[in-house]
Amino acid sequence: EFGLMDDPAEVEAATARARSGSRKPQGLPSVRDFAFAATLGEGSYSEVKRATYLRTGQEFAVKVLDKAFLKRKGKMSTALDEKNALVRLSSGHPGIVRLHHAFHDQYQLYFVIDLVPNGEMQTLLSRIGSLSITCARYYSAQIVDALAFMHAKNVVHRDLKPENLLLDENFRIKICDFGTAKILEPGAEPDQTFVGTAQYVSPEMIQKNETSFSVDFWALGCIIYQMIAGRFAFQGLSAYITMEKIKKVEYAFPEGFDEEAKDLVQKLLVREPTERLGAGAPGTPYDMHALRSHPFFSVIEWETLWNGSVPRLQ
Ligand code: ATP
């Protein structure tokens, strides 16, 4: 177990001690270099804690995974896949959490990632219901831009949903949770495991456990729908019924749904993965130009997407 350090004065003193060289501040970091504070979130296999890196005073989110638990559940390789996907993406994109360090001790694995302070898109949606069309467009564009980077690195996320879209200090999006991500190298063995979340999972994943870059674009369609409509595109009384609806692509737009957004959603929620907007042949990256140039995005300034002004949430 690692100790909690909640008192800011104590953290500051520990940072000062670390910096003054009372302990050698070189080499790989270890758990003793972090002062752990509040829990930010809990997943099925992990706990994410806020922590200060004592060598620099910088704050991070540290995802802590229990080795014995992972072994018991046969999920050790999944945790390593998560790390490998994060390493792949660590050259950095503003819309994706960055891995700064990864280390382990006898009991746990630790992933040190960007601290994203404004919570999940899901929490925001639960609070305000739906987003204005301006906000929905802005966030959709940020997801598209982050996916372009991710897929160009051959990483497919496979569990995109508002819970995994975090909001940074400026309320821009950062995609997190690469626990189900897969590196899709050309010519690699196809992955045959079912992953995802009922409301956002694609028909081909339900029917054939089929992974491709296109599963992220199905989820994108579901997320755009949800941000605007304020409800899931596909929702039944059980996960089974939800997935039955997905297999039939059975959903309806509420009255007054923005026409351009509707056109985009209809071009993403297409049963055949290779026929979704911008999809190429299986295993090839998306034609992001086809997505970026969709009329829904015509007012988006892609060059300033990550440093221009952020529309006011309402
Ligand atoms: P799940 O089982 O739900 O897939 P998980 O074990 O894969 O979860 P994550 O989704 O990575 O864990 O993290 C759990 C939660 O912790 C997130 O939904 C989020 O609320 C919070 N969290 C994760 N990463 C960060 C971060 N970098 N900054 C702030 N909060 C974070």
Tens of pLDDT, residues 23-36: 555 678 999 999 99
pLDDT digit string (tens) for 38-55?
999 998 889 999 999 999
**CB of 309 sitting under 6 A from ligand 1:** no
Q: What residues are annotated to the active site? A: 159
**CB of 51 sitting under 6 A from ligand 1:** no
Contact 216, 175 (CB under 8 A): no
Instruction: Please give the structure tokens belonging to residue 261.
Output: 């957004």
**CB of 45 sitting under 6 A from ligand 1:** yes
Query: Measuring CA to CA, which residue among 119, 211, 84 is closest to residue 219?
Result: 211
Instruction: Please give the structure tokens belonging to residue 210.
Output: 């089929």
**CB of 269 sitting under 6 A from ligand 1:** no
| pLDDT recorded at residue 45 | 86
Contact 155, 185 (CB under 8 A): no
- The complex's ipTM works out to 0.95
Q: How far apart are CA 217 and CA 277, in angstroms?
A: 8
Q: Which long-range contacts (CB under 8 A, 24 or more apart) does 3-11 make?
A: 3/36, 4/36, 4/37, 5/35, 5/36, 5/37, 5/52, 6/37, 6/38, 10/35, 11/35, 11/37, 11/52, 11/54
Give the strand pairing for 108-114 and 165-167.
Answer: unpaired
Global pTM?
0.91
- Ligand 1 atom closest to Cα of 48? 16
Atom 5, ligand 1: residue with shortest CA distance: 43
pLDDT digit string (tens) for 121-157?
999 999 999 999 999 999 999 999 999 999 999 999 9
Kindly give the distance from the C-alpha atom of residue 58 to the centroid of ligand 1, in angstroms, as a whole number.
Answer: 19
- Ligand 1 atom closest to Cα of 177? 11
Kindly give the distance from the C-alpha atom of residue 129 to the centroid of ligand 1, in angstroms, as a whole number.
Answer: 22
**CB of 97 sitting under 6 A from ligand 1:** yes
**CB of 33 sitting under 6 A from ligand 1:** no
| pLDDT recorded at residue 2 | 46
State which of 65, 70, 176 you would mutate to test the pocket of ligand 1, scoring each by most atoms of that ligand within 8 A of its C-beta: 176
Kindly give the distance from the C-alpha atom of residue 246 to the centroid of ligand 1, in angstroms, as a whole number.
Answer: 26
| pLDDT recorded at residue 286 | 73
| pLDDT recorded at residue 115 | 97
| pLDDT recorded at residue 3 | 47
| SS3 label, residue 224 | helix
- Ligand 1 atom closest to Cα of 159? 4
**CB of 40 sitting under 6 A from ligand 1:** yes
Contact 25, 159 (CB under 8 A): no
